[in-house]
C-alpha cells in the first residue's frame, strides 16, 4: 500500500520540477520578447496553477497510460528474485511483498522526506504568522476620527471603508505600509509615513487600497500555499516573487493612471524615501503586501517604469502566447511523463522448475514477483465457464513480461473480448498458441513487433473492469481458451489460500 502512494508521488514530484523549469524558461523567453508580460500578475498566477496541475495530472491513477515515452527500465539484482509469499487471502488486488529494492526504498524515503519538509515548511509559515500577529498586536488601531485626520485618507470615504471591514493600525516599527489578512483585511501604516508629504501619503494609501480592491492578498496566500506544499521546488519561490512584483506594478498602474508627471515624481520619491527608512530595519512579514518591499535594484527598476510611464497592458497576442505555452507544458507533462519499471536481470532463470523449463511449450512467468490470486476456471458471476485466465497480483507500474517469444498481434484499449479487459497485449507464439495480457496501464509494444521471452511488453494496472491493480493472463490454442497453467509450473507455491480454495478440482 505504501508503494502505491510512494511511486506515483515520486513521479509527480519529478514532473512538477520539470514542468516548473520549462515554464520558467518559456516565461523568461516570453518576457524578453514582450517585457510588459512580467508586469502582469495573471502571467505568474497561470504559471503557478499550471505547475500544480502538472503535479496533479501525474498523480492520476491512469495518467501513465497516456504517456508516449517508453518506460524507464531498472534492473533488479539476482537477490531480488522472490521467495514464495505468505498467503494473505486477497483476491484480484496487489499485496506488498517482503522484499524492498533500492528504487522502492528511494520512493519511500522521498515520501518520508516530503512529509518532514512539509512539516518544517508549515512551521516556518506559522512562525511568520506569529511574528505578523505580534506586529499587528503592538500597533495602535485607528478609528474613523483618527483616519479622517490622517493626511493619507482625506481623499477616501473612510466610513465606507470601515463598513466594508477594513481595519487600519499604525506602528512605530520602521516597516513599509502593508496590507495583510485574507478574510478581513488589515492595513498597517508606519508612524514615519506622517513625515511624507500629504500627496505622497494619499498616493501610498491609494496603492494599498488598490491591493484590496484587486484581491491581491488572496492570490498572495494562494502562492504562499503552493510554495509551502511544493517546498522541494525552489522555482515556485521564484514565481511567487515575480507575482509579488507584478502585483506592485499593477497597483502602480491603477493609481497613476491619468495622473500628471508631477504626481508620478512624488510617487517615485515616496518609494525611494521608504527604502531609505526601511534599510537595516524590520523586513516585511510573510503573507503581507508591502508598498516598498524589495531590494534597491528592484525599486530602481520600478521607479524607472513609473517615470517612463511604461506600465502598459500586454495585449491579446502576449496573453495568448503565454496561455498556449502553459497549455503545451501541461500536455507535455501528461504525454511525456516518465514511467518507471523493473526488469529481471538477463541471467535470472525463470521461476518454473528446471526440468519443466526444457519442455517445448514451457512459459516463463509474466511478472517478476509471482503471486496468484485467481486460477483458470474459478467461478465468477455472470461468466459462463468460470474465470478465463490466471490473475497475478501486481502493483500499477509493475513490468509485464512476455511469457514466450512471438509476434504481437494486438496492442489496444479496444480488445474484441470487451471493454472489461482494459488495455490489452496479445502475442502469437508457436503451434497456434497465443497469450493475452489484460488491465495494463501502459502498452510498450506495437502490432507486428517481435518479442523475446521475458521482454517487457507493458506495465500492469487496473484499466477495464477490475477491483484493483493486477495482471490477467489468458492463453489460447487455435482460438480456444486453454488453462495457462499448462505452460506454467509451480504456481501452487505462489498462490493465495483463497485462490487455491476457489480453483476447480483437477480432472
pLDDT digits (tens, 9 = 90+) for 363-402: 999 999 888 988 988 876 666 667 889 999 998 889 999 9
CATH 3.30.300.130 assigned to 349-502: no
Nine-digit cell at 216?
491581491
Identify whether the C-beta of residue 440 lies closer than 8 Å to the C-beta of residue 425: yes
pLDDT class for 437, splitting at 50, 70, 90?
Answer: very high
State yes or no: pLDDT of 359 exceeds 80.
no
Across the range 299-310, mean pLDDT stands at 66
Phi, psi of 180 (to 5 degrees): -135, 170
State yes or no: pLDDT of 248 exceeds 90.
no
Across the range 417-431, mean pLDDT stands at 87
Identify whether the C-beta of residue 421 lies closer than 8 Å to the C-beta of residue 472: yes
67 vs 127: CA distance, rounded Å: 42
Distances 154 to 146, 147, 150, 162, 228 between C-alpha atoms, Å: 11, 8, 7, 14, 40
State yes or no: pLDDT of 100 exceeds 50.
no
State which H helix or E strand residue 496 sits in. Answer: none
Give the per-residue pLDDT at 338.
57
State yes or no: pLDDT of 47 exceeds 80.
yes
Give the per-residue pLDDT at 407.
95
pLDDT digits (tens, 9 = 90+) for 261-302: 888 888 888 887 777 776 655 455 544 555 555 555 566 667
Domain ranges of the chain: 349-502
Who has greater pLDDT, 436 or 418?
A: 436
pLDDT class for 98, splitting at 50, 70, 90?
Answer: very low
Lowest mean pLDDT among 80-94, 226-240, 259-273, 381-395: 80-94
Residue 418: Cβ within 10 Å count: 11
Give the per-residue pLDDT at 318.
60
Amino acid at each position: 500500500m505504501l508503494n502505491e502512494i510512494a511511486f506515483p508521488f515520486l513521479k509527480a514530484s519529478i514532473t512538477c520540477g520539470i514542468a516548473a523549469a520549462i515554464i520558467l524558461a518559456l516565461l523568461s523567453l516570453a518576457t524578453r520578447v514582450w517585457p510588459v508580460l512580467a508586469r502582469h500578475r495573471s502571467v505568474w498566477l497561470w504559471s503557478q496553477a499550471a505547475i500544480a496541475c502538472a503535479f496533479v495530472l501525474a498523480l492520476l491513477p491512469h495518467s501513465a497510460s497516456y504517456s508516449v515515452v517508453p518506460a524507464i527500465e531498472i534492473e533488479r539484482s539476482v537477490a531480488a528474485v522472490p521467495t514464495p509469499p505468505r498467503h494473505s487471502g486477497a483476491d484480484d488486488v496487489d499485496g506488498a511483498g517482503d522484499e524492498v529494492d533500492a528504487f522502492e526504498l528511494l520512493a519511500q524515503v522521498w515520501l518520508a522526506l516530503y512529509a518532514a519538509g512539509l512539516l518544517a515548511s508549515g512551521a516556518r509559515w506559522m512562525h511568520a504568522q506569529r511574528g505578523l500577529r505580534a506586529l499587528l498586536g503592538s500597533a495602535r488601531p485607528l478609528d474613523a476620527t483618527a483616519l479622517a485626520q490622517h493626511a493619507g485618507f482625506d481623499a477616501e470615504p473612510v466610513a465606507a471603508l470601515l463598513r466594508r471591514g477594513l481595519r487600519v493600525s499604525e506602528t512605530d516599527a520602521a516597516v513599509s505600509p502593508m496590507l495583510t489578512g485574507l478574510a478581513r483585511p488589515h492595513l498597517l501604516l508606519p508612524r514615519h509615513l506622517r513625515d511624507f508629504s500629504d500627496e505622497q501619503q494619499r498616493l501610498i494609501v491609494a496603492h494599498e487600497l488598490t491591493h484590496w480592491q484587486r484581491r491581491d492578498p488572496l492570490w498572495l496566500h494562494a502562492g504562499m500555499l503552493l510554495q509551502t506544499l511544493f517546498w522541494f521546488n525552489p522555482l515556485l519561490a521564484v514565481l511567487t516573487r515575480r507575482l509579488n512584483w507584478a502585483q506592485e506594478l499593477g497597483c502602480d498602474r491603477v493609481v497613476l493612471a491619468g495622473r500628471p508627471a508631477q504626481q508620478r515624481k512624488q510617487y517615485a520619491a515616496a518609494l525611494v524615501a521608504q527604502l531609505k527608512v526601511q534599510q537595516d530595519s524590520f523586513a516585511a512579514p510573510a503573507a503581507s503586501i508591502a508598498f516598498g518591499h524589495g531590494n534597491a535594484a528592484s525599486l530602481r527598476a520600478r521607479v524607472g517604469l513609473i517615470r517612463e510611464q511604461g506600465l502598459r497592458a500586454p495585449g491579446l497576442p502576449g496573453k495568448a502566447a503565454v496561455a498556449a505555452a502553459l497549455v503545451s507544458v501541461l500536455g507535455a507533462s501528461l504525454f511525456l511523463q516518465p514511467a518507471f519499471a523493473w526488469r529481471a536481470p538477463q541471467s535470472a532463470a525463470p521461476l518454473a522448475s528446471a526440468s519443466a523449463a526444457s519442455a517445448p511449450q514451457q512459459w516463463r512467468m509474466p511478472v517478476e514477483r509471482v503471486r496468484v490470486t485467481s486460477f483458470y476456471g474459478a467461478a465468477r458471476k455472470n461468466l459462463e465457464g468460470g474465470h478465463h485466465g490466471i490473475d497475478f497480483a501486481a502493483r500499477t507500474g509493475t513490468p509485464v513480461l512476455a511469457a514466450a517469444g512471438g509476434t504481437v498481434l494486438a496492442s489496444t484499449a479496444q480488445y474484441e473480448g470487451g471493454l472489461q479487459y482494459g488495455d490489452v497485449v496479445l502475442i502469437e507464439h508457436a503451434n497456434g498458441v497465443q497469450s493475452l495480457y489484460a488491465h495494463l496501464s501502459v502498452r510498450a509494444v506495437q502490432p507486428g513487433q517481435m518479442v523475446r521471452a521475458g521482454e517487457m511488453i507493458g506495465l500492469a494496472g487496473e484499466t477495464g473492469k477490475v477491483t484493483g491493480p493486477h495482471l490477467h493472463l489468458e492463453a489460447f490454442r487455435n482460438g480456444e481458451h486453454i488453462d495457462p497453467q499448462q505452460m506454467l509450473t509451480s504456481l501452487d507455491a505462489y498462490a493465495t489460500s483463497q485462490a487455491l480454495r476457489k480453483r476447480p478440482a483437477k480432472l
